[in-house]
């Protein structure tokens, strides 16, 4: 599928704190820990647990979330299909959408029981 400007804007304007509990619920149901979840988020964004909570409390959008993040230099290694979109084919102009899908890919891998060293691309 092809990303559009409208789709990118819709995701960019979503509130991170509204989606965070959905990510966590999925992981918890699959027997993963909050420590593992936060380790993956910190690897990808640079945000520790305290900073994540601050950003959730501030009700920031995904756009602001990723603007404030220090994205890991190995993010280019996150590939595959999420929600019908092949990550490596998402155009650079839709950076927020691509980062969101990359983060979701990491969460999917964690939920499916993939080993942490593979998730963190070490």
**What would the pLDDT profile of 59-100 be if each residue is shown by its tens digit?**
999 999 999 999 999 999 999 999 899 999 999 999 999 999
- Over residues 20-46, the mean pLDDT reads 97
Domain boundaries, the chain: 5-119
**What would the pLDDT profile of 34-58 be if each residue is shown by its tens digit?**
999 999 999 999 999 999 999 999 9
Contact predicate 107/26, CB 8 Å: yes
Contact predicate 108/99, CB 8 Å: no
pLDDT recorded at residue 55: 98
Contact predicate 65/55, CB 8 Å: yes
Confidence of residue 122 (pLDDT cuts 50, 70, 90): confident
pLDDT recorded at residue 78: 97
Whole-prediction pTM: 0.94
- Supply 48's token pair: 């520790």
Query: Is 5-119 assigned to CATH 1.10.8.290?
Result: yes
- Supply 54's token pair: 């601050």
pLDDT recorded at residue 72: 97
């Amino acid at each position: 599928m092809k990303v559009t400007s409208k789709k990118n804007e819709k995701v960019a304007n979503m509130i991170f704190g509204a989606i965070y509990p959905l990510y966590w619920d999925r992981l918890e149901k699959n027997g993963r820990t909050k420590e593992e979840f936060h380790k993956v988020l910190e690897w990808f964004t640079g945000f520790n647990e305290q900073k994540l909570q601050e950003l959730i409390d501030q009700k920031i959008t995904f756009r602001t979330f990723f603007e404030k993040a220090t994205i890991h230099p190995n993010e280019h290694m996150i590939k595959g299909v999420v929600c019908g979109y092949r990550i490596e084919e998402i155009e650079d102009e839709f950076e927020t959408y691509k980062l969101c899908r990359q983060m979701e890919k990491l969460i999917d891998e964690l939920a499916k029981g993939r080993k942490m060293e593979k998730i963190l691309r070490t």
